[in-house]
Structure 1
Amino acid sequence: MANEKTRRRLSADDWARAALTAISEGGLPAVAVEPIAARLGATKGSFYWHFANRDALVAAALELWEREHTEAVVEHVEAEPDARAKLRRLFSDVTTGAARAPENRIEVALLATASHPLVAPTVSRITERRIAYVAALYEELGVPPGRARRQALLAFTTWLGYTQLVHATPEVLPGGAEAAAYLGFVLDEVVTPEGLPDGRPGPPPV
Structure 2
Amino acid sequence: MAEGRAPGQGWRGTEEGWIAAAYDMLVEGGVEAVKIQPLARRLGLSRTSFYWHFADREALLAALVRRWQEKNTGNLVQQTELPAATINAALLNLIDCWITPELFDSPLDRAMRDWARTDAALRAAFAEADAARIAAIRAMFLRHGYGEEEADVRASAVYLTQVGYIDLETAETLPARLRRAPTYVEIFTGRAATQAELSDFLARHAGRAG
TM-score when normalising by structure 2: 0.74
Within 5 Å, which residues of 2 pair with 1:1-206? Answer: 4-7=9-12, 10-11=14-15, 13-75=16-78, 78-82=81-85, 84=87, 85-91=89-95, 93-97=96-100, 103-115=105-117, 116-165=119-168, 167=169, 170=171, 173=172, 175=173, 177-190=175-188, 192-194=189-191
- Kept in 1, the 8 Å contact 2:110–2:167? The answer is yes
Q: In 2, Cα distance between the equivalents of 1:188 and 1:35?
A: 48
Per the alignment, residue 202 of structure 2 pairs with none
The number of residue pairs the alignment matches comes to: 184
**Shift of the alpha carbon at 1:64?**
0.7
**Shift of the alpha carbon at 1:53?**
1.8
Code of the aligned partner of 1:105: P
- Kept in 1, the 8 Å contact 2:68–2:109? The answer is no
CA pair 18-182 structure 1, distance change in 2 beyond 3 A? same
Q: In 2, Cα distance between the equivalents of 1:106 and 1:33?
A: 19
**Shift of the alpha carbon at 1:57?**
1.2
**Shift of the alpha carbon at 1:5?**
4.9
**Shift of the alpha carbon at 1:24?**
0.7
Percent of aligned pairs with the same amino acid: 27
CA pair 82-29 structure 1, distance change in 2 beyond 3 A? farther
Any idea what the Cα deviations from partners look like across 1:86-139, whole Å, max 9, x if unmatched?
A: 322112x232147x9x93322222222323124212212211111111111111
**Shift of the alpha carbon at 1:73?**
4.1
**Shift of the alpha carbon at 1:140?**
0.7
Higher RCO (C-alpha 8 Å, min separation 6): 1
CA pair 32-145 structure 1, distance change in 2 beyond 3 A? same
**Shift of the alpha carbon at 1:25?**
0.5
Any idea what the Cα deviations from partners look like across 1:12-66, whole Å, max 9, x if unmatched?
A: x433332222111011111111112222333322322232221221111011111
Code of the aligned partner of 1:29: E
**Unpaired segments of 5 or more residues in structure 2?**
193-210
**Shift of the alpha carbon at 1:176?**
6.3
- Kept in 1, the 8 Å contact 2:142–2:148? The answer is yes
- Kept in 2, the 8 Å contact 1:131–1:152? The answer is yes
TM-score when normalising by structure 1: 0.75
- Kept in 1, the 8 Å contact 2:138–2:154? The answer is yes
CA pair 62-176 structure 1, distance change in 2 beyond 3 A? closer
